[in-house]
Structure 1
Amino acid sequence: MKNLFFILSSIVLGLFFTGCSGIKYLTIETLEPAQVTLPGNVRTILVANNVVQQPNDIGHTNQLLGRSGAQRINVSSDSISVFYTEALSQFLNEEAFFDAVLYRQEPLRSDHDFFTEQPISPDKMNELRTEHHVDAIISLDKLLIETHKNEHFRQQGYSWAAMKANIQSIVRVYLPSMTGQIPAVHFTDSLNWQGFERQNGYLYAEEILPSHEEAMKEAAVYAAEKMTSVFSPHWVMQDRWFYTLPNALMREGETFAQNKDWVNAVSKWEAFYEKETNELKKAKAASNIALAYEMLDDMQLASEWIGKSEQLFLKATRPDSLDRKRVQIYKREIDRRRDNSNQLNMQVN
């Protein structure tokens, strides 16, 4: 009976300690550098619309149920470039990187040659800079959005279909000090939807397919949001994790981490790391320490500790270990952020 009690007690304790070790996840915000580094004296920006409205008969099709081929249709592109440029100016303002982001409502072009780009001339650039008192101009110089609908089936008289919007744009930055080629950012992407179509204003279900016009507007705003990260440092949501172990020091570090007290979390996890001899446990503690230093914005120490963690995981785990794969993913992210830190410091300081 005593042996049975001992065995049952061992099983319960084993389950308890297993349950106390694992991984806890958290979501953080990281500041990422702009993809284009503008001169430090560029503090005010004018966003301008320098495209010709897309003709209604360019780029749109319907693939109707039972038909062998897609049918070209007319779709109004009215104000799509306005949605793009106005959204871009709003998003840049919200990032609060520039001192001021102005928006010019009137389009710069009055011709009808949609397929020909006409970059802003130096004289026009200087005129706009003087008129709006800005340091540089971000101009939408090309915009093409195609929309394609494909019907799949009908139910209760309502059509279930898929919609795809392909968007291409070119945005240029005009600076008075630039000589030669003007920096141009090419953007190509697509958005997809599925759902039931509206019929005479009525809805059949919650999953509603946008019209071609609505799809164009959403694609324009989406592209503008992507362009924001090109010109301004921006915050990005990312997932992180830390390991938990049935040890007093590790638990204290976990408590500090949950309260965002990363200095004390480092202290507890480093104390555990120095005392521990098990390589797998040391690897997990080192990964936690790397996270803490990342949260303290010390990317050099974060890189050093995630390197220690990786080496220990390589010794203590099998090649197909999830922990090994996880630490390699995190190491690449830490190295990426460390390499970007100089660029980010140039932009925000």
Structure 2
Amino acid sequence: MAKSCSLICISLIVLTLSGCQTIEQLSIDYMQPAEITFPAQLRKVAVVNNTSVVPDNNLLPETEQKEDDINKIRRATAYSYGDSKLAVEALAEEIANQNYFDEVVICDSALRALDILPRENTLSPNEVNRLTNSLGVDLLISLENLQIQATKTISYQSEYGVFRGVVDVKTYPTIKVYLPERSTPMVTIIPKDSIFWERYGSTEKEVLNRLISDTQIVKEASTFAGISPVKQLIPYWRTEDRFLYTGGSVNMRDAAIYVREDSWDNAYELWKKTYDESKGNKKKMRAALNIALYYEMKDNLPEAENWARKAQEYAQKIEKLDKVDERNFNFNKIPNFILITKYLVELTERNSQIQKLNMQMQRFNNDF
């Protein structure tokens, strides 16, 4: 919810500033570190299925729940152990697509096919050594358990005169990483995630017919559950919005043209000239923020953070933060400060993670 509120606030601020034709939005891609750091010498990995075989992995009988909301006609929740074979295949494919390891081997046959009851059972050191030797790999990434919770809701949207059906699915895969010669797993992760589908219709029956089937829910959710842990295992690319001041002077407008032509060095020269020669705080603030973005594009995060702080200081002066009444706070009166502060927070977070990312990318000589 906090992230949604932040996005709404930023959108309103951008609309406020862009109404004066002083700001433009662009997207950048940068790499984020994974939660887990693997030693660089671990080059070959096997993805294995260490779940119990479940005879019936369909959604278990639904349990109806009483709704207090008069617009909600019905709501039911069902559970499933999912399709572990699909999850393991998706996990292995997604890891291979990242090109992080030299080799990715898949063993999607259940290692515990003889289990009578579904249960988690950690691989023993002997089993780990046997599997890594037979598969010719350095480590195992194992799916240990998979649970799916699906909630189906049918409601009537009185303002539009239509029925709405939603299937909200939560996935709970358990992943363990094993290394040879270790007595316990290197790490265990349970990356909870969710996916949903919605359909509309003129009648309740029409909506039910249009909604995704239970069989397809299990298939799609199992595949999704296999993909979701990868960001915790392997560094990944992330896309974020950035904002650029483009008005206020000829130099700022010309620099914006250079940016559109991907000539960042030329744009920087104009921004630096504007910053050095301007006496007004507003021009210095705009130039400083743009220079911060320039250094981020050059992967010089400490310098980017330094310039963003300068921009924030000018924004504080311009929008008189020291005189803001907290009891009657209105973010529309401090749009530059909010925009710059949000950017500074993101830069600070990136800067704090760079050492971890460099460790994870040592296998590529930090060429990323």
Q: Is the 8 A contact 1:147 1:212 kept in 2?
A: no
CA-CA distance at 1:98 after TM superposition: 1.0
- Structure 2: 5+ residue runs without aligned partners? 1-17, 322-330, 363-368
Q: Identify if the C-alpha distance between structure 1 residues 73 and 300 changes in structure 2 by more than 3 Å, giving closer, same or farther.
A: closer
Tell me the alpha carbon deviations over residues 256-281 of structure 1, each in whole angstroms, 9 at most, x when there is no partner.
21122222222211111101111122
> Paired residue for 2:62?
61
| 2:245 counterpart of 1:243 | yes
Q: Any residues of structure 2 matched to 1:29-44 within 5 Å, and which?
A: 29-44=29-44
Distance 1:300 1:177, change over 3 A: farther
Does structure 2 retain, via aligned residues, the 8 Å contact 1:62–1:150?
A: no
What's the % identity of the aligned pairs? 26
- In the aligned structure 2, how far is the partner of 1:314 from the partner of 1:195? 47
User: Which residue, out of 272, 278, 281, partners 2:280?
Assistant: 278
1:175 corresponds to = 179
The Cα of 1:73 is off from its aligned counterpart by 7.3
What amino acid maps onto 2:296 in structure 1?
E
What's the secondary structure of 1:134's corresponding residue?
coil
The answer to whether the 8 A contact 1:20-1:246 is kept is no
Residue 120 of structure 1 pairs with residue 120 of structure 2: no
What is the RMSD of the two structures over their aligned residues, measured on CA atoms?
3.1
3-state SS of 2:51 partner:
coil
| Contact 2:78–2:149 (CA under 8 A) maintained in structure 1 | no
Alignment correspondent of 2:150: 147
Deviates more, 1:215-224 or 1:297-306: 215-224
Report the AA paired with residue 93 of structure 2.
Q
Could you tell me which amino acid in structure 1 is paired with residue 197 of structure 2?
W
| Corresponding residue number in structure 2 for 1:326 | 339
Normalised by the size of structure 1, how large is the TM-score? 0.82
Alignment match, 1:335? 348
Which ranges in structure 1 are unaligned for 5 or more consecutive residues?
A: 1-17, 198-202
Q: Aligned equivalents of 1:294 and 1:73: distance in 2? A: 47
Maintained 8 Å contact 1:64/1:151? no
1:209 aligns with 211
Contact 1:63/1:151 (<8 A) preserved = no
In the alignment, which residue of structure 1 is the partner of 2:47? 47
1:40-66 CA-to-partner distances (Å, cap 9, x unmatched) read 111111111111244447755164999
Answering whether residue 121 of structure 2 is matched by residue 108 of structure 1, we say no
- Change over 3 Å in CA distance of 1:72–1:277 after alignment to 2: closer
Q: In 1, Cα distance between the equivalents of 2:253 and 2:77? A: 64
| SS of aligned partner of 1:105 | strand
**Letter of the 2:121 counterpart:** Q
Q: Partner letter of residue 145 of structure 2? A: K
Q: Does 1:134 align with 2:147?
A: no
The 1:326/1:113 distance shift into structure 2, 3 A limit, reads farther
C-alpha separation between the residues in 2 aligned to 1:244 and 1:270?
14
Deviation at 1:159, TM superposition (A): 8.0
Aligned residue type for 1:132: L
1:89-146, Cα deviation, whole Å (9 max, x unpaired): 1111111111111111311111344442111111111111111111100000011112
The CA distance in 1 between the partners of 2:170 and 2:28, in whole Å, is 32
- Partner amino acid for 1:91? E
Q: Is the 8 A contact 2:51 2:119 kept in 1?
A: no
Which residue matches 1:190? 194
Partners of 1:138 and 1:247 lie apart in 2 by 56
1:180-222 alpha-carbon deviations (Å, 9 max, x no partner): 453100122332322259xxxxx968x9421122122222222
In structure 1, distance between residues paired with 2:79 and 2:337: 54
CA distance in 2, matches of 1:50, 1:181: 13
| Distance of 1:81 and 1:73 partners within structure 2 | 18
What residue identity is the alignment partner of 2:357? L
Counterpart contact for 1:65–1:152, Cα < 8 Å:
no
How many residue pairs match? The answer is 322
* SS of equivalent to 1:176: coil
Q: Distance in 2 between matches of 1:304 and 1:36?
A: 29
Aligned equivalents of 1:288, 1:113: Cα separation in 2 = 63
What CA distance in whole angstroms lies between the structure 2 residues aligned with 1:186 and 1:332? Answer: 28
